[in-house]
């Protein structure tokens, strides 16, 4: 009887700690090289007074080089300020273990695109691709992120990560603090 109980306990604990499978939007290998990109993941959502701001992450692996794609969507009936990415833009991730990880923007200026929808909202969509540096890269696999600082061309923005939140956008539960712990393995 003890043997059956121990076996059942082990089986349930393996399922409890099993990693989720990686979800890719692209996984291509051809004569030019290889490219993998994970599904976009909502990291931050701010909805207040008719204004909405969303930040999405996705990880990509291009010929062995892991990168982070940061997509920002701003929605408002008022003027939407343009914060641009340039060659000096960076993303700083403060980890709960006290270390700071810096990601460097590729040399491509981007101020986003303005799109007006049928409800009269202005939507600014902006994407930036950031490269990981060797320093503290492994810490992202073990320590949750508590704060992200985005350095734009002319501005700086801080985003405090939540352990968990339910998005108004789609009603799903997201865990931004552990995004890298859960997903870096998908691009290695």
> Residue for token digits 């931050």?
44
Q: Is residue 13 part of a domain?
A: no
Q: How far apart are CA 156 and CA 84, in angstroms?
A: 11
Checking if the pLDDT of 10 tops 60, the result is no
Q: Tally the domains of the chain.
A: 1
Indicate whether 9 pLDDT > 80. no
CA 169-174-177 angle, 5° bins: 135
pLDDT of residue 2: 55
Does residue 43 fall inside a structural domain?
yes
In a domain, 42, yes or no: yes
Q: What residue ranges in the chain does DSSP mark as E strands?
A: 24-29, 34-38, 41-48, 51-62, 65-76, 90-95, 100-105, 113-116, 122-132, 145-151, 156-160, 165-166, 173-174
* pLDDT (tens digit per residue) in 140-149: 999 999 999 9
Interval 125-167: pLDDT, tens: 999 999 998 877 889 999 999 999 999 998 999 999 999 999 9
For 117, the token pair is 């929808």
Enclosing domain of residue 73? 22-187
Burial state string for 43-54 with b = 16 or more CB within 10 A and e = fewer than 16: bbbeeeeeebbb
Query: Residue 135 falls within a domain, yes or no?
Result: yes
For residue 161, is it within any domain? Answer: yes
Q: Give this prediction's pTM.
A: 0.83
- Does residue 120 sit within a domain? yes
Confidence at residue 13, expressed as pLDDT on a 0 to 100 scale: 44
In a domain, 130, yes or no: yes
pLDDT on residue 19: 64
Polymer length in residues for the chain: 188
pLDDT at 14: 42
pLDDT class of 12 with cuts at 50, 70, 90 = very low
Q: Look at residue 148 and tell me if it is in a domain.
A: yes
- Residues 98-112 pLDDT 10s: 999 999 999 888 888
Query: pLDDT tens for residues 42-100?
Result: 999 999 888 899 999 999 998 888 999 999 999 988 877 888 999 999 999 999 999 99
* pLDDT at 140 (0 to 100): 93
């Amino acid at each position: 009887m003890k043997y059956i109980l121990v076996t059942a306990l082990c089986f349930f604990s393996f399922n409890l700690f099993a990693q989720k499978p990686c979800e890719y939007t692209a996984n291509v290998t051809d004569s030019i090289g290889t490219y993998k990109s994970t599904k976009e993941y909502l990291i931050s959502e701010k909805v207040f007074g008719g204004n909405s701001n969303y930040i999405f992450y996705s990880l990509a692996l291009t010929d062995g080089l892991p990168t982070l794609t940061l997509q920002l969507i701003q929605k408002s009936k008022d003027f939407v300020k343009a914060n641009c990415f340039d060659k000096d833009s960076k993303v700083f991730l403060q980890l709960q273990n006290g270390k700071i990880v810096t990601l460097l923007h590729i040399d491509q200026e981007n101020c986003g695109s303005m799109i007006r929808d049928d409800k009269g909202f202005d939507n600014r969509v902006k994407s930036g691709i950031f490269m990981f540096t060797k320093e503290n890269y492994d810490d992202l696999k073990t320590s949750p992120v508590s704060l992200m600082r985005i350095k734009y061309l002319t501005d700086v923005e801080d985003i405090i990560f939540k352990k968990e939140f339910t998005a108004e956008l789609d009603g799903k539960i997201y865990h931004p603090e552990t995004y890298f712990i859960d997903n870096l393995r998908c691009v290695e």
